[in-house]
Structure formats: C-alpha cells, structure tokens
C-alpha cells in the first residue's frame, strides 16, 4: 500500500481495531458516572429541614447537608415568635463564614457581631405571632473540604431560646 491510499480492511472492517470501541465506551461510562450521581442528588445540595422550639420561639433551618467546592447554595432560617423577643439574635456557626463566601443576607440584620468564631445577626423586636424568615446566599470556596459547623441558635440578646445543631460536609 502506498501513501495516501485507504486500507479498506482497517477502515471498513476494523481489522486490528476491535478493542477501540470498547475503550471509548468505558471512557464515556466513566464520564457519565458523576453526571448520573448528580442527577439523583448524591453529590450534594439536597436540603433538609431541621427545627427546634422553646417556650418563646420556634426555629427552623432549611439547608443542605452535603456541598461541593465552588457551589452556590442558600440557607433559610424561620423564626416564629410565641412571645415577645426584645433583642432577637441569630447566632450562626463558624461554617457559614469559614471557607464560604457570604453573598447576601436578606432581610439585612440591624447589626452584626461575633461571639468567638460564630457570627451574630441582630434583628428588631419580635412580638408573639411574628414570623421572621432570613435567607442567606453563600458560595463554597473551592479549597474548602470536610465538616463545617452550620448550627443556628436563636437568642434574646444573650439568653438562648432555641438551637439547631447542623453540620455541612463539603466534598473535595
């Protein structure tokens, strides 16, 4: 066979290339595995709802348990006041700011502070029957991995009213 001629037995009949289609199929299957896992929710961002209550308030958290680096996500915190809460404070575990980018908190708190490694958000007085829903939009830093403390506590100034223990696992 000279240069430029087509070898029909190799091109048409695949002689000498019988294993090539299987190699391509295996590589395609390897690429499809993460896509399939993501489609069934095995790779994070499926949210769970946790709640806690005390005599003066009920607290609920809707947030994911598993995240991936770089992922945008949100947490929704709902406070239902059963009695007057003069100085409502949401105390967020260090996992909300350690290894995360906080994009927005709505409604914005009237004040922000810290207690050791935790973030404290202050809101206006809540009367019995009032409901406050706080949305926090975040993004996972790509280098973050492992368990993050995403607990939420509701205080009346410094007196705890309800607490939800929550951990977020960031996949590497």
pLDDT in tens, 42-69: 766 788 999 999 999 999 999 999 998 8
Residue 138 in contact with residue 73, Cβ under 8 Å? yes
In a domain, 95, yes or no: yes
Tell me: do 66 and 144 sit in the same domain. yes
In a domain, 1, yes or no: no
In a domain, 2, yes or no: no
Phi, psi torsion values for 117, nearest 5 degrees: -90, 0
In a domain, 103, yes or no: yes
In a domain, 75, yes or no: yes
Going from the C-alpha of 96 to that of each of 2, 119, 166, 168, the distances in angstroms are 68, 8, 11, 10
Tell me: do 76 and 29 sit in the same domain. no
Tell me: do 12 and 95 sit in the same domain. no
State the pLDDT at residue 22: 84
Tell me: do 101 and 24 sit in the same domain. no
Tell me: do 62 and 105 sit in the same domain. yes
Measure the CA–CA gap between 113 and 66, rounded to whole angstroms: 27
Tell me: do 125 and 102 sit in the same domain. yes
Tell me: do 15 and 65 sit in the same domain. no
Q: What is the mean pLDDT of residues 144-156?
A: 95
| pLDDT at position 78 over 90 | yes
State the pLDDT at residue 84: 96
In a domain, 58, yes or no: yes
Q: Residue 68 is part of a domain; what is its CATH number?
A: 2.60.40.3670
Secondary structure (H, E, C), 138-155? EEECCCCCEEEECCEEEE
DSSP string, 31-86: HHHHHHHHHTTTTS--EEEEEEE-SSEEEEEEEESEEETT-EEEEEEEEEESS-BS
Measure the CA–CA gap between 128 and 126, rounded to whole angstroms: 7
pTM of the shown model: 0.77
Domain that holds residue 25: 8-39
| pLDDT at position 20 over 80 | no
| pLDDT at position 40 over 60 | yes
Tell me: do 15 and 86 sit in the same domain. no
Q: What is the mean pLDDT of residues 82-110?
A: 95
Tell me: do 141 and 63 sit in the same domain. yes
Number of domains making up the chain = 2
Tell me: do 30 and 56 sit in the same domain. no
| pLDDT at position 2 over 80 | no
State the pLDDT at residue 76: 98
| pLDDT at position 147 over 70 | yes
């Amino acid at each position: 066979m000279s240069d430029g001629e087509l070898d029909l037995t190799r091109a048409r009949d695949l002689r000498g290339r019988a294993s090539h289609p299987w190699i391509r199929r295996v590589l395609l299957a390897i690429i499809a595995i993460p896509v399939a896992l993501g489609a069934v929710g095995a790779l994070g961002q499926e949210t769970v709802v946790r709640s806690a209550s005390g005599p003066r308030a009920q607290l609920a958290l809707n947030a994911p348990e598993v995240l991936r680096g770089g992922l945008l996500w949100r947490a929704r915190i709902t406070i239902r006041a059963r009695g007057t809460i003069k100085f409502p404070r949401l105390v967020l575990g260090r996992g909300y700011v350690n290894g995360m980018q906080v994009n927005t908190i709505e409604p914005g708190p009237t004040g922000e502070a810290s207690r050791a490694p935790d973030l404290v958000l202050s809101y206006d007085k809540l009367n019995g029957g009032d409901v406050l829903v706080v949305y926090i939009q975040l993004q996972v830093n790509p280098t973050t991995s492992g368990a993050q403390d995403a607990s939420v506590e509701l205080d009346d100034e410094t007196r705890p009213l309800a607490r939800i223990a929550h951990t977020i696992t960031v996949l590497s």
